[in-house]
Amino acid sequence: MMLSWKQLVLLSFIGCLRGESPLQGPMFVREPSDSIVPVGSEEKQVTLTCEARGNPSPHYRWQLNGSDVDLSVERRYKQNRGDLVVVNPNRNRDVGSYQCFATNSLGTIISREAKLQFAYLENFKTKRRSTVSVREGQGVVLLCGPPPHSGELSYAWIFNEYPSLVEEDSRRFVSQETGHLYIAKVETSDVGNYTCVVTSMVTAARVLGSPTPLVLRSDGVMSEYEPKIEVQFPESLPAAKGSTVRLECFALGNPVPQISWHRSDGQPLPSKVKLSKVSSVLEVPSFQQEDAGSYECVAENSRGRNVARGRLTYYAKPHWVHLIKDVTVAMGDDLHWECQAGGKPKASYRWLKDGESLLLEDRIQIENGALTITNLSVADSGMFQCIAENKHGRIYSSAELKVIAAAPDFSATPMPPLLRVQAGSEVGLECQPRASPRARASWRRGDVAVQENGRISFVEDGGLRIANVTKADTGAYTCVAENQFGAANGTTHLIVTEPTRITLAPSSMDVSVGESIVLPCQARHDPLLDATFTWYVDGSLADFHRDGAHVEKVGGSSSGDLMIRNIQLKHSGKYVCVVQTGVDSVSSAADLVVRGSPGPPENVTVDEITDTTAQLSWEEGTDNRSPVTSYAIQARTPYSVGWQTVTTVPEFIDGEAHTATVVGLNPWVEYEFRVVASNQIGGGEPSLPSEKVRTEEAVPEAPPSEVSGGGGSRSELVITWDPVPEELQNGEGFGYVVAFRPLGITNWIQTVVTSPDTPRYVFRNESIKPFSLYEVKVGVYNNKGEGPFSPVTTVFSAEEEPTVAPSQVSASSLSSSEIEVSWNAIPWKLSSGHLLGYEVRYWTSRQQESASRVTVAASDTSAVLRGLRSNLAYNAAVRAYNSAGVGPFSTTVNATTRKTPPSQPPGNVVWNTTDTKVLLNWEQVRAMENESEVTGYKDQQPEGHAGAEHKQDICRAAAARQGGLHHRGQGHHSWRGRGQQ
């Protein structure tokens, strides 16, 4: 039951007194959506959702096709809160459009329409299909004729028996629009039975038609003919925004026609277009307005062509641009509610109030979807809905209108209890209680009514304005507000104070980066008031926390002085000190100019490049309030360590110049350049690097250094040098010219080394005498020509390797791990070169494949082989070597390393002592099989009275069971067995 406006006002008032939640009209949280029910589904019910919020909680009712659903009569319907449950849905009774109504004491709203549809697919009628007889080469269409159905279908064809399905290609096509099978050109392999298979995309049900026999006629082969388009799209096809548009095109013909697609206006097909089934199907995904237009399908073969055309038109369901929102207005005011939706075609509008069409009258008008209601009354309160619709859809927007009527009330907008103003200023006293309709206001000062005069005036909204305030205006001012529902009043105490004045103001300053300054700000104010000091920089409040390292206020609470330490460029600006009291505020401004080194120059460009010069230009960067006095240019190459200052013409680049020439560059080197500006403050940041440029090629100027040589094998002349660095090669095709000649010969022998990284050249010739002096020099060249040679130096040719082997070679064992090999030196002439030394190779019978070796100097005639295994026979051979190579090996000698000494110490050592001697006894040590025999024992006395180690050898018969020793003196003793090593 809907309540009267008087009851609504009373309920709202009582609810506010109780502190309850405010009343609210219904608003949908969930609305029903379209549903498709598969006929024969196991689901025995369908639920249409509906839920709304509101206070009090809404109750619900439903309509089907505009008529109320009576739950007391219709047993097949149940309601679960707001949801409607259709039990055992029937396609004949329950199909249609459903709407949910949500109602509470504040009004009613209607949901969007939800369509309930039923999907089904009946069987084909049992009927034998006629045989289709065609000539070979002729085209044919086999009709499907789907049975009664509801819901989207898909089609396929069986050839002869399942699961052999017809494969679609350029010659065969199954239309998903008609279901028919099209064969452009029949071949003998096509003869057979064809069965149409229809599948419901909703229920997945599948039915098969009767087979259609296809046979060939016996009256010959069909001759060639031009294409005939059998499958084509409509002349006009509406397409929804965002949908996927699918166009089919297929033609019969002999030869088999080729299909292509075009836009009739000559524009290219959208890039998103997809072609499938050998171009017989064109799809336009996410259709937009720019995709609309005329499309054409062209079928052609060698006999001719045929064209099918159609126009895609764009449409869009309504969509909201401007929704209506809840509004609360006072009785007697006017309402203007905007409601705007987009769509194509353009949407039309209508309005509902509490689920019923809104009746228009003089006060209520609708124009372009906007609703206007003048002179509102409480009876106008309720739930309103704006409906926007075109032929493609309908949308709803809901909102609540509350029209209030109330006596004046200052509780929400109280007047300030105290108001301080500055003498001589103008003050406005506000009086804005909540009231509906608007209250009438009157004023009194104390108990005396305030009258208008030259300084005092009443404001239209109920306020009071006093100009040129004086101390005499101090007092309590009361506003009395009244309307037909009651009256209320509010009071403000007015206090008049002396104005605030700045006594020490900041002054403009001009400083350099790094300095520290103080901007003063001191003021005098009324003693009844507290003052605060605030600084603004270029109109923004100064943030002392963010810039605390540089800026802080100093001087305590009575001063607003501002200190800036280590001042930076960012501190430049207009500084305003504001002194604020509870009554007034004053301010003073100063300009702070901070000058610093220049910013980076911009747009550094290489205008011209040669082999050794580069002409640069640039644009001036920020001068940071100090004019640029000079520029310097720096360069970087892949070979340099960082940036290096380069020589320029002019040598000194004035601050007014923006171009200069860099000289002294290396040819054929990649350079980057940057520019650094300077002013009286100092040097600034460098510019961004220029683009990389390469200097032009030139003849090389630097010959290789450290030309030398020598060594090598017999009949070789080895020449070495330090390769020229890449940055000095001056161009591509760099290489070396190696020149040499025997000492005393006039003519040079020359050869070319093409690799720039090669550090040596070896000349081989049997005529080269060993250890002969040659003059050599190395020059350079590249694609531009030949450069200079290095200074001439002398080198020796390769020496002659030794030709004889050492004689009188012998080997003897020194210990269990050492063998000494000795020999006589080979005869050697200084004219054959320098003998470097001897190589001794040694091995065991098991290690012949991996012999070890040691080398000694030419002056040595023996070598000790160390780290050998004990009690093992070793073979050894010796040969001489020099820089040219090695000589022959000597005859092989051999020696066996000794066994290891005894590993066990003597046991059961016993001693007897007197004043002058010690008698020692011990058990004999027996050597193990792999140890040498015991030949004696050694007595070791570490530090005695004399501070030196005392040792005494005792030779005893190895066969004796016990040993003994008489020793005079004092000290500690240890014993060990001694054998051959």
Question: What is the rounded distance in angstroms from the CA atom of residue 711 to the CA atom of residue 708?
Answer: 11
What's the pLDDT score for residue 941? 63
Write out the H or E segment, with its range, that includes residue 15: helix 5-18
Q: Which residues pair with 693 in a beta bridge?
A: 671
- Phi and psi dihedrals of 96, rounded to 5? 150, -165
What's the pLDDT score for residue 831? 66
What's the pLDDT score for residue 125? 87
Please name the amino acid found at residue 302: S
Question: Would you state the structure tokens that stand for residue 576, as one six-digit string?
Answer: 């305003």
11 Cβ neighbours under 8 A, 6+ residues apart: 3, 23, 105
The answer to whether residues 313 and 389 touch, using CB atoms and an 8 Å cutoff, is no
Q: Which residues pair with 855 in a beta bridge?
A: 839
Q: pLDDT band at 828, cuts 50/70/90? A: confident
pTM across the whole model = 0.50
What's the pLDDT score for residue 965? 52
Q: pLDDT band at 499, cuts 50/70/90? A: confident
Q: SS3 for 44? A: coil
Q: Is the pLDDT of residue 980 over 50?
A: no
Q: pLDDT band at 126, cuts 50/70/90? A: confident
What's the pLDDT score for residue 928? 78
Q: Is the pLDDT of residue 974 over 50?
A: no
Q: Which residues of 439-460 are buried (b: 16+ CB within 10 A; e: fewer)?
A: bebbbebeeeebeeeeeeebee
Please name the amino acid found at residue 669: V
What's the pLDDT score for residue 955? 45
Write out the H or E segment, with its range, that includes residue 262: strand 258-263
What's the pLDDT score for residue 978? 43
Q: Which residues pair with 895 in a beta bridge?
A: 874
703 Cβ neighbours under 8 A, 6+ residues apart: 724, 778, 779, 780, 787, 788, 789, 790
- Phi and psi dihedrals of 850, rounded to 5? -130, 65
Q: Is the pLDDT of residue 395 over 90?
A: yes
Q: Which residues of 949-970 are buried (b: 16+ CB within 10 A; e: fewer)?
A: ebeeeeeeebeeeebebebeee
pLDDT tens per residue, range 516-527:
999 999 998 888
Q: Per mean pLDDT, which range of 127-131, 298-302, 343-347, 356-360 is the poorest? A: 127-131
Q: What is the mean pLDDT of residues 757-772?
A: 92
What's the pLDDT score for residue 434? 86
DSSP code string of 488-522:
EEEEEEEEEEPPPEEEE----EEEETT--EEE--E
What's the pLDDT score for residue 969? 39
Q: Taken in order 72, 78, 84, 90, is the CA torsion positive or negative?
A: negative
Residue with more model confidence, 187 or 40: 187
Question: What is the rounded distance in angstroms from the CA atom of residue 560 to the CA atom of residue 547?
Answer: 17
Q: Per mean pLDDT, which range of 70-79, 609-618, 939-948 is the poorest? A: 939-948
Question: Would you state the structure tokens that stand for residue 443, as one six-digit string?
Answer: 């004023």
Question: What is the rounded distance in angstroms from the CA atom of residue 205 to the CA atom of residue 197?
Answer: 11
Q: SS3 for 188? A: helix
What's the pLDDT score for residue 302? 94
What's the pLDDT score for residue 2? 46
Q: Is the pLDDT of residue 19 over 80?
A: no
Q: Which residues pair with 30 in a beta bridge?
A: 51
Question: What is the rounded distance in angstroms from the CA atom of residue 670 to the CA atom of residue 691?
Answer: 10
Question: What is the rounded distance in angstroms from the CA atom of residue 634 to the CA atom of residue 674?
Answer: 5
Q: What is the mean pLDDT of residues 286-299?
A: 94
Distances (CA, A) of 449 to 428, 476, 544, 637: 17, 12, 50, 91
Q: What is the mean pLDDT of residues 870-884?
A: 89
Please name the amino acid found at residue 263: R
pLDDT tens per residue, range 250-262:
999 999 999 999 9
Q: pLDDT band at 5, cuts 50/70/90? A: very low
Q: Which residues of 410-421 are buried (b: 16+ CB within 10 A; e: fewer)?
A: beeeebeeebbb
What's the pLDDT score for residue 18? 45
408 Cβ neighbours under 8 A, 6+ residues apart: 433, 434, 435, 439, 481, 482, 483, 486, 487, 488
Q: pLDDT band at 423, cuts 50/70/90? A: confident
CA angle, 74 then 77 then 79, to 5° = 125
Q: Please provide the average confidence, as pLDDT, over all residues in the chain.
A: 88
Q: Is the pLDDT of residue 49 over 90?
A: yes
The answer to whether residues 655 and 629 touch, using CB atoms and an 8 Å cutoff, is yes
Closest CA to 767 of 714, 719, 803, 712: 714
pLDDT tens per residue, range 458-489:
998 889 999 999 888 899 999 999 988 899 99
DSSP letter at 109 equals: E
CA angle, 838 then 842 then 848, to 5° = 135
Q: What is the mean pLDDT of residues 861-879?
A: 91
What's the pLDDT score for residue 970? 36
Report the share of the chain in percent with pLDDT over 90.
66
Q: Which residues pair with 591 in a beta bridge?
A: 574
Question: What is the rounded distance in angstroms from the CA atom of residue 810 to the CA atom of residue 805?
Answer: 14
What's the pLDDT score for residue 904? 82
Residue with more model confidence, 952 or 792: 792
Q: Is the pLDDT of residue 287 over 70?
A: yes
What's the pLDDT score for residue 973? 42
Distances (CA, A) of 345 to 293, 315, 318, 700, 757: 16, 7, 9, 80, 78
What's the pLDDT score for residue 20? 60
Q: pLDDT band at 47, cuts 50/70/90? A: very high
Q: pLDDT band at 975, cuts 50/70/90? A: very low
pLDDT tens per residue, range 647-690:
999 999 999 999 999 999 999 999 999 999 999 999 999 999 99
Q: Is the pLDDT of residue 311 over 90?
A: yes
Distances (CA, A) of 417 to 278, 421, 429, 492, 493: 86, 13, 11, 5, 6
The answer to whether residues 920 and 911 touch, using CB atoms and an 8 Å cutoff, is yes
